[in-house]
Structure 1
């Protein structure tokens, strides 16, 4: 969000920053402001990888939040251990997800292999684990 760059906006007279627009909208409804601040706190704890702050925030008594935000916080409390582990460690299953995605793409473009060994060989070729025979 940009708080220094002023721009003309058709709903506001004169120039205004993005921060100014958000401040104006949040000043209209207290419940919206509380939900927005709760959301921003969660985003901050996740992006800056602060598991202790995340843990303390989801266990605080939050007053004035919407039912959906309360439900989200309840879900966070139920999955607290997994979320804190994800914030604490640098491990990711991104590599495995990428491999699975590539295999699904091979299956989709091949329209089904009749022979599993051909399918297996195609996966190995894609990952350069199997050399292709060339006619010489």
Structure 2
């Protein structure tokens, strides 16, 4: 596929280089790939490169610190699922009690 379309090959190679730089946590390589000549790139790729460049300091932080917000997002998702299957509690206190029961094995007093 890539042999038939040089534009597709260029886009794919750039995409793979960006992924590799992030996986290797190589900031210099990432900055180098973001500074690529954007002539001939699709508007989608240009927008993606611009967004990555805009958030570069935050991306660099992820290279240095192992913290994520995955646990918080998981908790939020569980509450949303509970809300979907609860069909709406009439009493907010009961709803909050149900959330507490969902996240702990200890009974509420």
Report which stretch shifted further, 122-131 or 100-109: 122-131
Q: 1:96 aligns with which of 68, 72, 77?
A: 72
Q: Deviations over 1:32-68 (max 9, x none)?
A: 1111110101111222332332122212334442332
User: Highest Rg: 1 or 2?
Assistant: 1
CA RMSD of aligned residues (A): 2.0
1:47 aligns with 2:23: yes
TM-score (norm. length: structure 1): 0.69
Q: Which structure 2 residue ranges, 5 or more long, are not aligned? A: none
Deviation at 1:130, TM superposition (A): 4.2
Report what 2:51 is aligned to. 75
Report the Cα distance in structure 1 between the residues aligned to 2:36 and 2:64, rounded to whole angstroms. Answer: 20
Conserved? CA contact 1:55–1:84, under 8 Å: no
Deviation at 1:125, TM superposition (A): 1.1
By relative contact order (CA 8 Å, sep 6+), the higher-ranking structure is 2
Q: 1:65 aligns with which of 10, 19, 41?
A: 41
Deviation at 1:71, TM superposition (A): 2.0
Report the Cα distance in structure 2 between the residues aligned to 1:26 and 1:71, rounded to whole angstroms. Answer: 22
Aligned length: 109
Report what 1:105 is aligned to. 81
